[in-house]
Each structure stands twice: as C-alpha cells, then as structure tokens.
Amino acid sequence: MLTVGTGNKAIASAVRDAKPAVVAAYPITPQTEIVEEIANYVSTGALKSRYIPVESEHSSMAACLGAAATGVRTFTATSSHGLVYMCEMLHMVAGARLPIVMANANRSIGPGWNINAEHTDSLSMRDTGWLQCYVASAQEAYDTTLMAFRIAEHNDVLLPVMVNLDGFLLTHSIQPLRTVEVGDFLPPISLPHAIDMDNPGGYGTLTTGDVHFKFRWDMERAMRDSVHVIEETQKAFAEAFGREYGMTEDYRTEDAEVIIIALGTMGKEMEVAVDQLRDEGVKAGSMRIRWLRPFPVLDLAGRDVVVIDRDYSFGYGGIVAGEIRAKTGTEVFSVIAGIGGQEVTYNDIATFVRDRRPGGELWFGVEDS
C-alpha cells in the first residue's frame, strides 16, 4: 500500500505487519510516536498483541525477555537514555539467545540536554551481542524491521536485532512509504529453547569457567552465521517485494580513489557529495554501513578513506573509524560531525573529502582540532 509516514510511523507499521505477540515499551523522545502508534494499533484491534506499558526501559526489556523466553515474537523501542538504562538487560537478552527486535531512535546522551541525532547511544552497546543495523529512509526502516524479525528468529542466529534510525532527521521526517503483504516472508517463530511447562528446565543457571566460554563461542558463531542469514533474507525480501539491500549500500565505488563511510541519514546525503566531487573530477564513492554487527567485509585496499562519525569514544577516537582501521588495516581520515544533531550538509561532506589528511582527525566546527 502506498502512503506517507515518518520514520517512526514506518517502524510502527512494520511491527503491525509482523504481528508480535508482545510489545513492552516506555516512551522517550524521539521514539515516542513508535509506541503511541503501536498502542493505537493494539487498542483498535489492528494488531492483536499484548501491549505492556512499563515504568522504565530496564523493565521494558525485562518484560520482553520474559515474553520471548516463552517462544513468542516480541518487540520494543527506545532511544538514548532509555537504551543505556536497559544496558544490563541487553546483555541478558543476547546471552539468553532471545530473538527480540528493538528499534532505537539514535539520540545524544545528556548532559547537556539534547534530543537530536547521535550514534553514541547504540555504538556504546555494540558489545552486548545484539545485531545492529542503521537505516537511512522511512522505507528502509519499514523493510529492515520486517527483515529483522526473520533474521533474529532464524535458528542459525537466535540473537536480538537492533534497528537504528536517526532521531528527528529520520524519526520525524515524512516520506513516501510502501507497505507490503508480509505473507510467508515471515514464518512463525519457533524457539528451540522456549519455556515448556511439560518439560521444566533451568534457565540462566550458574556456569563456571569450564563451560561459560562455550556459551560465548556459540554466540560468536551465531553472529558469524548471521551474515549468510542476513544476505539470504535480504535476497528473499528483494524477490518478494522488489527492494534490494546489502550489508552496506555502495555508491559509485567501482573505480573510486576515495571512499566516504558513514552510518544513517548522513550516509545517504553523502551520495550527493559524491556526485558533486565526481563533477569536479574527483573519483569519489561512498559506502553506507547498514549492518555494523555483524561487521561487514569492506574492500578498501589502495583507496583513501574518509569516515564520518556521529559519535565519539573519548580518549580513543571516532568509533566507526576505529573499527574500520582495526578490521581492514586501512589508514583513514576521521571526521567527527553531526553530534547532537549538528547540521552537516553535502557541501560540508565534499569539503571533508577535498581537505582529507590520511591518518588525521577533524572535529567539524572546532578550529584547533
């Protein structure tokens, strides 16, 4: 069906169409519209689901954990302070191998108080064992949320998935949205370790050093296996609904001598900078990282790389720049830009590329960085 909606509305529509049995959530700006819409779907009967209003994000994830452990499809959404408040439960859910899907509206963490886009919230949760995807349009938010359920619930994965969308830039941007008839694209969930009242067992019991690492190795193996599940799911989605997605979205990279890398909406706007640079004779291309966990294979050999981080690890550097350096061995020009919703245009991005200093770091807007 053709309609228009915000990024938030797109997520809520995908949840309605994926029909989770349980949604437990706490509203927080700029995610609020997601849970309002879902609550509305439940109250009007458009979504036959148990909606559990809770008093905090820690509780919302705890409620999702309990529900998911019974073997039903489960969803929640949060942002910023809400996400870091549920940090402990993020580890619990991944460790318990529960395929919960969560949307996170990327937002800065205070103080100073700021409700605008930044990726430090989700990137600081990158080691919890959740798969992480970053989207760049309302349509991609809808499509990815549907795919997230299939990927998380696949028995080769059984790990939770976080779908990240930029606060306000995408959560509140009104865009065209094409919803689908999900049909058998989403098979019923079948959790092999679901609580079974007829066969009681222990969950989360004490594990000592001689076995605990095996659980962690299992998680890592599932994370590695998730790559083929993601690729297969994205292929099935393209076949069923005609829209194609990859681990990354590559733009004019074939003969590129310099590649720009970013997450989220800036990763889309940088395509306009690429066009501008190409018109000037600069062989530029861009890679928007969609899946940050599992980390994609990036072909960067022999090219200059400019990474734009809307985040920072204090005392270290841009988080995505650091990951790319470590994973590919490539020297990068690291740009810190867009933090707390700082305005960054395609003209600015083109300037980062023109003025690149391989191995250097630039804080956009800071004179002596």
Residue 342, phi then psi, degrees to nearest 5: -50, 135
- Shortest CB 135 distance to another protein, Å: 12
At residue 46, the 3 state secondary structure works out as coil
Q: Which one of the spans 11-19, 61-69, 122-130, 343-351 is the region binding another protein (CB under 8 A)?
A: 343-351
Number of residues that bind another protein (CB under 8 A): 25
Distance, CA of 241 to CA of 160 (rounded, Å): 24
Instruction: Mark residues 230-269: x for contact with another protein by CB under 8 A, - for none.
Output: -----------------------------------xx-xx
Cα Rg for the chain, rounded, in angstroms? Answer: 20
Q: Which one of the spans 104-112, 142-150, 220-228, 340-348 is the region binding another protein (CB under 8 A)?
A: 340-348
Residue for token pair 């083109």:
350
Give the 3-state secondary structure of 304-355: EEEEEECCCECCCECHHHHHHHHHHCCCCEEEECCHHHCCCCHHHHHHHHHC
- Shortest CB 73 distance to another protein, Å: 31
Considering beta carbons, is residue 101 or 349 the nearer one to another protein? 349
Tell me 310's DSSP state. Answer: S
Considering beta carbons, is residue 104 or 128 the nearer one to another protein? 104
User: Which residues in 42-117 belong to E strands, given as ranges?
Assistant: 50-53, 74-79, 101-106
Taking CB under 8 A as the criterion, the residue among 343, 354, 359, 369 binding another protein is 343
- Shortest CB 333 distance to another protein, Å: 21
Considering beta carbons, is residue 125 or 263 the nearer one to another protein? 263
Does residue 175 belong to the site contacting another protein (CB under 8 A)? yes
Does residue 346 belong to the site contacting another protein (CB under 8 A)? yes
- Shortest CB 88 distance to another protein, Å: 31
Does residue 120 belong to the site contacting another protein (CB under 8 A)? no
Does residue 345 belong to the site contacting another protein (CB under 8 A)? yes
At residue 25, the 3 state secondary structure works out as strand
Q: CB within 8 A of 139, min separation 6: which ones?
A: 10, 175, 176, 177, 178, 243
- Shortest CB 25 distance to another protein, Å: 21
Taking CB under 8 A as the criterion, the residue among 32, 59, 173, 328 binding another protein is 173
Q: Which one of the spans 98-106, 167-175, 196-204, 207-215 is the region binding another protein (CB under 8 A)?
A: 167-175
Distance, CA of 154 to CA of 213 (rounded, Å): 23
Does residue 337 belong to the site contacting another protein (CB under 8 A)? no
Q: CB within 8 A of 286, min separation 6: which ones?
A: 250, 251, 252, 253, 259, 260, 261, 262, 267, 270, 271, 273, 274
Does residue 172 belong to the site contacting another protein (CB under 8 A)? yes
Does residue 119 belong to the site contacting another protein (CB under 8 A)? no
Distance, CA of 167 to CA of 31 (rounded, Å): 8
Considering beta carbons, is residue 22 or 344 the nearer one to another protein? 344
Cis bond leading into 176, ω under 30°?
no
Does residue 197 belong to the site contacting another protein (CB under 8 A)? no
Does residue 2 belong to the site contacting another protein (CB under 8 A)? yes
Considering beta carbons, is residue 20 or 30 the nearer one to another protein? 30
Taking CB under 8 A as the criterion, the residue among 170, 277, 289, 353 binding another protein is 170
Residue for token pair 């609550």:
39
Taking CB under 8 A as the criterion, the residue among 143, 271, 304, 311 binding another protein is 271
Distance, CA of 168 to CA of 8 (rounded, Å): 9
- Contact yes or no for 369/333 (Cβ under 8 A): no
Count of residues making up the chain: 369
DSSP of 91-133, one letter per residue? HHHHHTT---EEEEEE---SSSP--S--SHHHHTTTTSS-EEE
Taking CB under 8 A as the criterion, the residue among 165, 344, 350, 353 binding another protein is 344
Does residue 174 belong to the site contacting another protein (CB under 8 A)? yes
Binding region for another protein (CB under 8 A): 2-4, 30, 115, 137, 166, 168-170, 172-176, 265-266, 268-269, 271-272, 343-346
